[in-house]
Structure 1
Amino acid sequence: MREALGMRAGALSSASWSLAGVRLIGPSKETALEEDHSPAPTTWNKEAFADEQIRGLVRQVFSTRLNPPVQQVVFSSVERETDVRSLCTWVGEVLAQEKVAEIAIIDETEVSLERSPSRTDFEAHSQYRSTPIRQLATSIHRNVWLVPPRSAGPDSCHRSSLCAYMAELRREFEYSIVAAPAPSVSSAALEMARFADGIILVLSAQHTRRVTALKVKNALGSVRLLGTVLSDREFPMPTSIYRRL
């Protein structure tokens, strides 16, 4: 698994998906997370740094000290071009090393609640509803499952249907990580986040504008914002900035 994760980190970086940092948001004093006092790296290695950041993200977001605890989280990028599916798979693989639990990684990046479903979608949706989610999923590790996206159906965009789907994921898996489309593309991310334990926004260091990020944050409303992930950073950061992350 360690070697596979290293390969995945390299693949992400080569595809302009290098991780610059993770910022966790909002723990109360009673549930404050322990600070990382590990020394900053002396030799820059972006793959090792990205791996370190993902592990820190997993340990903090899924910490048993958080109240309420996080077992179902939605990842969504501010920019539609950002690949959150690979990030979610990476997070799921690391979580599998940290927890002895059944973990689902759900790809909803191509599902739009706004588009009109086709006849094929209706047929697939009917089959999806009558089949346990795990039977439709693909096992990629002993306790990690890839769940295909839901097909659009006559009620797939209704809040009640979406709530039932997220609840079913909770029943079948102890942890579920949802890769959602960008809010600018579909409202699916915000709708799913309302039924999940929170959302993590992925920002692009090269493309995301502050005003755009603030607009998305404001659109969250009462949704629990767990943190942000910064991508597309291709150079070493000064130690002072590293220690703030």
Structure 2
Amino acid sequence: MTEMPQAAEEAPIKGLGSHRVALPEVPPAFAAEVDLFRQGIESALPGPTRRVLMTSATSGEGVTTLSLFVGISLAARAGRSVCVVDANLRSSGLTRWLGLEGQLGVSDVCQGLAEWSDALRPTETEGLYVIGTGRAGGEPSVLLGSVAGREMAKNLATRFDYVLIDGGRTLGQVEASLLAPSVDGTVLVVRANHTKREVLAKAEKEIRSHGGRVVGSILNRRTFPIPDAVYRRL
């Protein structure tokens, strides 16, 4: 295991490029650990395209920050084409962080008001695109449980090497579990010295009960990609 700095805080965004979404800089202390995690994902999911759901047991564990930082690492340092999706329709953390409020996004596509191509936003990092939660209202579980919601990862995977979905928390809301069967693997983000093992195990069980596959975990202040067969040792 390697030490990983706290991931829950959002870094400030600098200068918006023309028609491109401005991104925060990945803190130097994070870079090596994020790269290590990225390598672990590539090893755990060796296919030509990789659809990954980022979630956590409870809120405030750093899912949004790590989803974006891993996306930046994949695009900037590994040369992959990447789409990071804010599917946490209840909090829209990534959407607010990147200033995507009021733009077409997940909710609009799920209601048939737009296509995924309409919702894609290029960023300052070449090869990295983002999709916000959108401007249409609606019950999150109904939207993400729709045909468009369930096929989101599949459709985006035809355009990108990686699709990273910020699914918010698993316990207390059903959306992440609804998305889990549609991706190649789910990653649980865990806040160090906060999330109890039994809570983490409950989140893992919830994902598996919906047909999802947990391929690894990020622990704030430590990063350790864990193959599926080893994960049960937590």
Normalising by structure 2, we get a TM-score of 0.66
Partner of 2:75, secondary structure, is: helix
Which shows bigger deviation, 129-138 or 99-108? 129-138
Q: Partners in 2 of 1:156 and 1:127 — Cα distance?
A: 6
Cα displacement (A) at 1:162: 2.2
Residue matched to 1:107: 86
Alignment CA distance shift 1:101-1:131 (3 Å): farther
Q: Partners in 1 of 2:132 and 2:10 — Cα distance?
A: 25
Residues 1:62 and 2:54 aligned together: no
Residue matched to 1:43: none
Residues 1:227 and 2:206 aligned together: no
- For residues 113-136 of structure 1, the C-alpha deviation after alignment (integer angstroms, 9 at most, x for no partner) is xxxxxxxx9xx6369635332332
Q: Which amino acid aligns with 1:162?
A: G
RMSD of aligned residue pairs (Cα, Å): 3.3
Partner of 1:74, secondary structure, is: strand
Cα displacement (A) at 1:152: 4.9
Matches within 5 A, 1:26-175: 48=28, 50-63=30-43, 66-67=45-46, 71-111=50-90, 125=108, 129-140=112-123, 141-149=125-133, 151-153=136-138, 156-158=143-145, 160-175=147-162
Alignment CA distance shift 1:82-1:159 (3 Å): same
Residue matched to 1:35: none
Residue matched to 2:230: none
- For residues 159-217 of structure 1, the C-alpha deviation after alignment (integer angstroms, 9 at most, x for no partner) is 53322222222223231101111012421111111100010001111210111111111
Q: Partners in 2 of 1:69 and 1:62 — Cα distance?
A: 10
Q: Partners in 2 of 1:148 and 1:76 — Cα distance?
A: 16
Q: Is the 8 A contact 1:80 1:185 kept in 2?
A: no
Residue matched to 2:192: 205
Alignment CA distance shift 1:214-1:196 (3 Å): same
Q: Greater CA radius of gyration, 1 or 2?
A: 1
Alignment CA distance shift 1:159-1:194 (3 Å): farther
Q: Which amino acid aligns with 1:156?
A: L
- For residues 69-103 of structure 1, the C-alpha deviation after alignment (integer angstroms, 9 at most, x for no partner) is 66110111222122311111100011013444421
Structure 1, unpaired ranges of 5+: 1-8, 18-46, 113-120, 234-245
Partner of 1:171, secondary structure, is: coil
Alignment CA distance shift 1:130-1:68 (3 Å): same
Q: Partners in 2 of 1:126 and 1:91 — Cα distance?
A: 25
Q: Which amino acid aligns with 2:82?
A: I
Alignment CA distance shift 1:180-1:127 (3 Å): closer
Q: Is the 8 A contact 1:73 1:176 kept in 2?
A: yes
Q: Which amino acid aligns with 1:56?
A: L
Alignment CA distance shift 1:167-1:207 (3 Å): same
Q: Partners in 1 of 2:181 and 2:8 — Cα distance?
A: 34
Partner of 1:181, secondary structure, is: strand
Residues 1:189 and 2:168 aligned together: no
Q: Is the 8 A contact 2:110 2:144 kept in 1?
A: no
Q: Which amino acid aligns with 1:214?
A: A
Aligned pair count?
Answer: 184
Structure 2, unpaired ranges of 5+: 12-26, 92-103, 223-234
